[in-house]
């Protein structure tokens, strides 16, 4: 009979099932009638009630089940909704050409790679995609990860050792924060987009290596990193720069090449990372840099080495989406026209859209409870948006996050604005200036 590591009999599996699995006579397995004691480890789980409290009052906004493709309109509970909460900025997630490319990859390569890139999981299309991404970003080389989250975990933790410091914006994405934590370097958080604060921190650091990590476009507020000034400060202190272009790829720069290209600073930014899950209509991540950095990551980025590789369908979908973005500049033009139309419409209703200058458009609400009430009203009226509360945004700066796609029609955005105005008036939530 099989044994567990500590020598106990692994056949008595009932020990490991909550309060014990009854054998029909009131006892629970071979270890007596008493259930195993509840570990103190789970106290945090047993006392967590915030989500259930929101569910009870009908204001739980997360894990909504969408019954259709991710498009400008979606179906939830059998109802049509205008989607203004997606990151599919180019509107390619449901594009027939992208779907056909994914299908063809499954036919040729199967559904998965059954291993990591490091061992048996590298396909020829992985290498092709890396070459295409490197060329697109204007870098010598690139490497693709299974998710964008893993890309940031891998690159930041691999590059920052015990004698290094990493400097991150306070509103950087969670994957940047976690990547910095996984590395052995000391982490410093500077005030959002505050170059003077970054300058002060860099000046006070006597570390051997310094890495500054910023989002190209900040995912909640929709503002752009002040990259020209960040580059000046970083050069003065001999710090390297990593830009996470998750929300900027496809959106900013020539052919959507990202934030560094937008500011003509590609050669000044050593490392560019991002995801395929937004404009590129798939899932996966990438890092672009010079050849020596990429080769180092191939052999040191744990989230690459110890994770199964990007599925063939995702690779092929990304390749096709990238091709479409490069060949159809009118998509980006339409995206920016839609962005301006929605932002202007929200502002004309009196709403505060913060510092947004991209397709991510927040409506600043302030109070979290009020934010959930507004979200529910819009959801019930047929507009899909996302409520954002602390800690994703500073306390007392809760907001409704809108995001627009290149494929939205003017009629859809107009309808959404009419619904927003009507819903806000019914709530008594219209701004005083409206």
| Structural domains of the chain, with CATH | 51-83+328-427 (3.90.1150.10), 96-327 (3.40.640.10)
Q: Which residue has the tokens 């490197």?
A: 134
Q: Is the peptide bond prior to 391 cis by the omega test (within 30 degrees of 0)?
A: yes
Residue in 173, 247, 334, 379 annotated catalytic: 247
Identify the burial level of 186 via C-beta atoms within 10 angstroms of its C-beta, where 0-12 means exposed, 13-18 middle and 19 or more buried. Answer: middle
- What is the rounded distance in angstroms from the CA atom of residue 357 to the CA atom of residue 375? 22
Query: Which is the catalytic residue, given 88, 175, 219, 356?
Result: 219
**The 186-190 sheet, strands edge to edge:** 141-145, 285-289, 271-275, 240-244, 209-215, 164-169, 186-190
Cα–Cα nearest to 376, from 413, 424, 415: 424
Q: Is 219 one of the annotated active-site residues of the chain?
A: yes
Q: Per residue of the chain (434 residues), what is the pLDDT tens digit?
A: 444 444 444 444 333 334 444 444 444 445 556 788 999 999 999 999 999 999 999 999 999 999 999 999 999 999 999 999 999 999 999 999 999 999 999 999 999 999 999 999 999 999 999 999 999 999 999 999 999 999 999 999 999 999 999 999 999 999 999 999 999 999 999 999 999 999 999 999 999 899 999 999 999 999 999 999 999 999 999 999 999 999 999 999 999 999 999 999 999 999 999 999 999 999 999 999 999 999 999 999 999 999 999 999 999 999 999 999 999 999 999 999 999 999 999 999 999 999 999 999 999 999 999 999 999 999 999 999 999 998 888 888 999 999 999 999 999 999 999 999 999 999 988 886 65
Catalytic position from the list 139, 278, 334, 408: 278
- Enter the pTM of the model: 0.90
Catalytic residue check, 278: yes
Task: Provide φ and ψ at 227, rounded to 5°.
Answer: -65, -40
User: For residue 217, which of 197, 240, 175, 246 has the smallest C-alpha distance?
Assistant: 246
| pLDDT tens sequence across 355-391 | 999 999 999 999 999 999 999 999 999 999 999 998 8
HSE toward the beta carbon, residue 399, CA cutoff 13 A? 24
């Amino acid at each position: 009979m099989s044994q567990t590591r500590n020598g106990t009999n692994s056949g008595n599996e009932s020990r490991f099932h909550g309060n014990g699995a009854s054998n029909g006579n009131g006892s629970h397995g071979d270890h007596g009638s008493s259930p195993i004691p509840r570990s103190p480890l789970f106290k945090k789980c047993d006392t967590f009630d915030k989500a259930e409290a929101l569910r009870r009052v009908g204001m739980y906004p997360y894990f909504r089940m969408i019954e259709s493709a991710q498009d400008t309109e979606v179906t939830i509970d059998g109802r049509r909704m205008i989607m203004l909460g997606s990151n599919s900025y180019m509107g390619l997630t449901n594009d027939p050409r992208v779907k056909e490319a994914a299908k063809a990859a499954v036919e040729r390569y199967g559904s998965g790679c059954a291993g990591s890139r490091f061992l048996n999981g590298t396909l020829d299309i992985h290498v092709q995609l890396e070459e295409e991404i490197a060329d697109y970003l204007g870098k010598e080389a690139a490497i693709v990860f299974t998710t964008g989250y893993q890309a940031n975990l891998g690159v930041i933790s691999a590059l920052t050792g015990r004698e290094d410091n990493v400097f991150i914006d306070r509103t950087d994405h969670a994957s940047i924060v976690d990547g910095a934590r996984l590395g052995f370097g000391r982490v410093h958080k500077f005030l959002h987009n505050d170059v003077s604060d970054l300058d002060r921190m860099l000046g006070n650091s006597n570390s051997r290596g310094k890495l500054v990590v910023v989002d190209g476009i900040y995912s909640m507020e929709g503002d752009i990193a002040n990259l020209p000034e960040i580059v000046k400060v970083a050069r003065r202190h001999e710090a390297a720069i990593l830009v996470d272009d998750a929300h900027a790829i496809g959106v900013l720069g020539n052919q959507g090449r990202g934030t560094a290209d937008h500011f003509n600073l590609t050669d000044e930014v050593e490392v560019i990372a991002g995801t395929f899950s937004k404009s590129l209509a798939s899932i996966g991540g990438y890092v672009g840099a010079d050849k020596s950095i990429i080769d180092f990551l191939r052999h040191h980025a744990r989230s690459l080495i110890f994770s199964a590789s990007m599925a063939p369908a995702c690779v092929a979908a990304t390749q096709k989406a990238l091709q479409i973005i490069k060949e159809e500049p009118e998509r980006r033009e339409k995206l920016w026209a839609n962005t301006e139309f929605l932002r202007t419409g929200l502002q004309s209703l009196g709403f505060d859209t913060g510092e947004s200058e991209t397709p991510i458009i927040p409506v600043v609400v302030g109070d979290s409870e009020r934010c959930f009430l507004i979200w529910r009203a819009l959801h019930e009226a047929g507009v899909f948006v996302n409520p954002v509360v602390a800690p994703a945004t500073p306390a007392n700066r809760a907001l409704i996050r809108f995001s627009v796609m290149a494929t939205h029609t003017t009629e859809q955005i107009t309808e959404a604005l009419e619904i927003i105005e009507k819903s806000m008036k019914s709530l008594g939530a219209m701004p005083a200036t409206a």
